[in-house]
């Protein structure tokens, strides 16, 4: 039986991602419906499905086209229905082949509902011509605004409930993850100028007195307060996009959509404690942070700089015997470690040597200096040099993700709590309120709480007390996965190597995540509040707030 398509505008804003606590709670009716049907097939790989491990089949033969020679740039995912039922499609503008992009596709910063995004969007008030090859009766279902708040494009819907996204979710996700969005709308000269300034800061910094460093950083901070994206301490645009897409596909499917849970053993979030040991002062003060952890039963990861101070083998061994992990924090921390491809080539062999000696599989770049293309060439299993949002770093920005993701074969583990130095030295906070609130936000949103603290600054009582209250906050919470970064990276690989398949009376996970992975479902909620008209005026700014998504 065909479920009539509700108008998108009535539903999309109200769609909340709801995840069942465990799939046993699902009604047998829903499970039965799943058993008989495959949910989706697609003309092209769909990055959003791949990322969340939503089951689907790729069939290139589905590609939209009229048989002409024009390169295909619109892709299609359709729901698979039983005999006699009509399937509905989600079409989207592909961007992988630049020569196939129509002239109407403009790279820019856009706003749709409660999220900002960057990428190519097929702009215009008229229905894109390609869609007429597919069906008729297309109309605007959702407005897309540009950064000035003017309506520039639309999400289109036809009378049968098919939907066209005028942008490519894969490109949008990559823009965030790689921080490439920071170049959108900037002139090449401004980009080069900014890069030179940051390079100069990194190089000059080791020679600057600490008080001058702080003054410079505060000056940076004042300038960066004015940047409107990403917002701080929470930027949830990317995750609001995910929630919107989850709702959209659940609505198309007319049933809950299964995916591999974000964390193993049904845990609701992950807590990862990491430390960078900056100087000899920090090296001699490990216990300022390790002490409270030991007392409260935590393990953590320690990143050392091999050639800035002497690191004794027995210090490494003792940490490892306590269940802690050791990682590599550059080579000299002098602004040159990741300065250029040439410098990396020169210093990498020594970094690798220390990684082998310390059995380290993780990397954290000094001062989080990072280049997207460079990171996977370092040869570590994971990197943790990106923040989800950090406008206060010398290299400001943020990947906007509070979940792990891949950069080629390397797992990225974003730092998702503000750094101790930012909070207490630069912003002069007196307590850990921002840490606690952000950590609670991440727990509610099934994210990864990844903290970076430095023993070098832990003599500051605000910082020491703040760290204690953060540890206290998660102590004894069985829903939280207390994990080392290497464990998270391994899990994320297992998850990415696994698929959900219908089997017997149930769905199950096949692949390396099957022993500890769980299946969850995303729902299209029934409307709870009237959709708000998008008048093209004020664009709401991202701020810390309570859960915009509901989970059950
Ligand atoms: Zn450092």
Extents of the domains making up the chain: 8-180+238-261+518-522, 266-492
Run of H or E residues at 301: strand 301-304
pLDDT at 505: 63
CA of 408 to the centre of ligand 1 (A): 24
CA of 312 to the centre of ligand 1 (A): 18
Of 41, 45, 97, nearest to 73 by C-alpha is 97
pTM, to two decimals = 0.86
Query: What tens-digit pLDDT sequence spans the chain (552 residues)?
Result: 343 444 444 333 333 334 433 333 344 444 444 444 578 999 999 999 999 999 999 988 766 654 555 556 899 999 886 555 678 999 999 999 888 788 889 999 999 999 999 999 999 988 888 888 888 899 999 999 999 999 999 999 999 999 999 999 999 999 999 999 999 988 777 777 777 777 677 666 766 677 777 776 666 666 555 568 999 999 999 999 999 999 999 999 888 899 999 999 999 999 999 999 999 999 999 999 999 999 999 999 999 999 999 999 999 999 999 999 999 999 999 999 998 899 999 999 999 999 999 999 999 999 999 999 999 999 999 999 999 999 888 888 999 999 999 999 999 999 999 999 999 998 999 999 999 999 999 999 999 999 999 999 999 999 999 999 999 999 989 999 999 999 999 999 999 999 999 866 688 999 999 999 999 999 886 433 323 333 332 222 222 222 233 332
Query: How far is 310 from 456, CA to CA, in rounded Å?
Result: 15
CA of 136 to the centre of ligand 1 (A): 57
CA of 539 to the centre of ligand 1 (A): 37
CA of 367 to the centre of ligand 1 (A): 5
CA of 341 to the centre of ligand 1 (A): 20
Query: How far is 7 from 329, CA to CA, in rounded Å?
Result: 52
Q: Domain 266-492 class? A: alpha beta
CA of 380 to the centre of ligand 1 (A): 18
CA of 189 to the centre of ligand 1 (A): 29
Instruction: Find where tokens 């540890």 sit.
Output: 471
Of 163, 160, 137, nearest to 2 by C-alpha is 160
CA of 454 to the centre of ligand 1 (A): 8
Sequence length of the chain is 552
pLDDT at 43: 93
pLDDT at 97: 85
pLDDT at 525: 63
CA of 262 to the centre of ligand 1 (A): 29
pLDDT at 82: 57
CA of 194 to the centre of ligand 1 (A): 21
DSSP classification of residue 276: E
Residue 148 tokens, joined? 């000035």
Q: Write a three-state SS string for 107-125.
A: EEEEEECCEEEEEEEECCC
pLDDT at 102: 83
Query: How far is 507 from 510, CA to CA, in rounded Å?
Result: 10
- Helix 461-474 to helix 433-444 angle (10° resolution) is 20
CA of 296 to the centre of ligand 1 (A): 26
CA of 201 to the centre of ligand 1 (A): 14
Instruction: Dihedral sign for Cα 363, 364, 365, 370, please.
Output: positive
Beta-carbon contacts of 408 under 8 Å, excluding residues fewer than 6 positions away, are 376
CA of 346 to the centre of ligand 1 (A): 20
CA of 441 to the centre of ligand 1 (A): 26
CA of 179 to the centre of ligand 1 (A): 21
CA of 70 to the centre of ligand 1 (A): 51
Of 116, 111, 234, 227, nearest to 545 by C-alpha is 234
CA of 364 to the centre of ligand 1 (A): 8
CA of 281 to the centre of ligand 1 (A): 13
Contacts of the segment 63-66: beta carbons below 8 A, 24+ positions apart: 64/91, 64/130, 64/133, 64/134, 65/133, 66/133
CA of 345 to the centre of ligand 1 (A): 20
CA of 351 to the centre of ligand 1 (A): 15
Of 352, 415, 340, nearest to 378 by C-alpha is 352
Percent helix, strand and coil across the chain, each rounded to 5? 35, 20, 45
CA of 392 to the centre of ligand 1 (A): 15
pLDDT at 394: 81
Do β-strands 105-112 and 115-122 pair in parallel, antiparallel, or remain unpaired? antiparallel
CA of 329 to the centre of ligand 1 (A): 7
């Amino acid at each position: 039986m065909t479920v009539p398509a509700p108008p998108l505008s009535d539903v999309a804003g109200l769609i909340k991602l709801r995840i069942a606590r465990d799939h046993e709670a699902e009604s047998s009716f829903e499970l039965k419906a799943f058993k008989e049907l495959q949910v989706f097939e697609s003309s092209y790989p769909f990055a959003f499905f791949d990322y969340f491990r939503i089951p689907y089949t790729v069939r290139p033969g589905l590609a939209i086209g009229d048989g002409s020679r024009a390169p295909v740039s619109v892709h299609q995912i359709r729901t698979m229905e039983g005999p006699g039922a009509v399937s509905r499609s989600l079409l989207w503008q592909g961007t992988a082949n630049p020569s196939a992009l129509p002239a109407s596709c403009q790279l820019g910063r856009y706003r749709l509902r409660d999220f900002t995004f960057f990428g190519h969007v097929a702009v215009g008030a008229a229905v894109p011509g390609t869609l007429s090859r597919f069906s008729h009766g297309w109309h605007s279902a959702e407005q897309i605004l540009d950064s000035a708040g003017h309506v520039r494009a639309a999400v289109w819907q036809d009378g049968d409930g098919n939907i066209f996204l005028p942008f490519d979710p894969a490109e949008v996700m990559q823009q965030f993850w790689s921080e490439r969005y920071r170049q959108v709308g900037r002139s090449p000269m401004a980009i080069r100028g900014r890069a030179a300034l940051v390079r100069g800061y990194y190089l000059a910094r080791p020679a600057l007195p600490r008080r001058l460093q702080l003054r410079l950083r505060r000056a940076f901070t004042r300038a960066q307060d004015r940047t409107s994206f990403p917002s701080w301490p929470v930027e949830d645009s990317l995750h609001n996009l995910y929630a919107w897409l989850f709702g959209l596909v659940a609505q198309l499917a007319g049933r809950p959509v299964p995916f591999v849970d974000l964390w193993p053993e049904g845990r609701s979030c992950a807590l990862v404690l990491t430390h960078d040991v900056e100087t000899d002062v920090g090296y001699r003060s490990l216990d300022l942070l390790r002490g409270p952890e030991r007392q409260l039963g935590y393990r953590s990861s320690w990143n050392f700089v091999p050639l800035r101070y002497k690191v004794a083998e027995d210090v490494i061994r003792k940490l490892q015997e306590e269940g802690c992990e050791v990682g590599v924090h550059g080579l000299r921390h002098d602004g040159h470690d990741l300065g250029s491809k040439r410098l990396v080539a020169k210093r990498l062999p020594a970094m690798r040597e220390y990684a082998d000696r310390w059995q380290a599989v993780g990397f954290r770049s000094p001062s989080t200096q990072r280049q997207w293309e460079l990171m996977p060439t370092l040869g570590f299993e994971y990197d943790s040099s990106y923040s989800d949002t950090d406008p206060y770093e010398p290299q400001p920005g943020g990947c906007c993700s509070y979940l792990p993701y891949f950069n080629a074969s390397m797992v990225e583990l974003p730092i998702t709590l503000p750094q101790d130095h930012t909070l207490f030295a630069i912003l002069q906070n007196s307590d850990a309120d921002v840490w606690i609130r952000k950590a609670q936000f991440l727990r509610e949103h099934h994210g990864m709480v990844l903290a970076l603290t430095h023993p070098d600054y832990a003599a500051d009582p605000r910082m020491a007390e703040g760290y204690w209250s953060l540890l206290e906050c998660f102590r004894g919470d069985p829903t939280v996965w207390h994990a080392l970064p290497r464990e998270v990276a391994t899990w994320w690989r297992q998850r990415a190597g696994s698929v959900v398949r219908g089997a017997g009376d149930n769905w199950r996970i096949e692949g390396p995540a099957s022993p500890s992975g769980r299946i969850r479902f995303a729902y299209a909620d029934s409307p709870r509040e009237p959709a708000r008209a998008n008048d093209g005026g004020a664009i709401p700014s991202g701020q810390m707030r309570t859960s915009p998504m509901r989970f059950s």
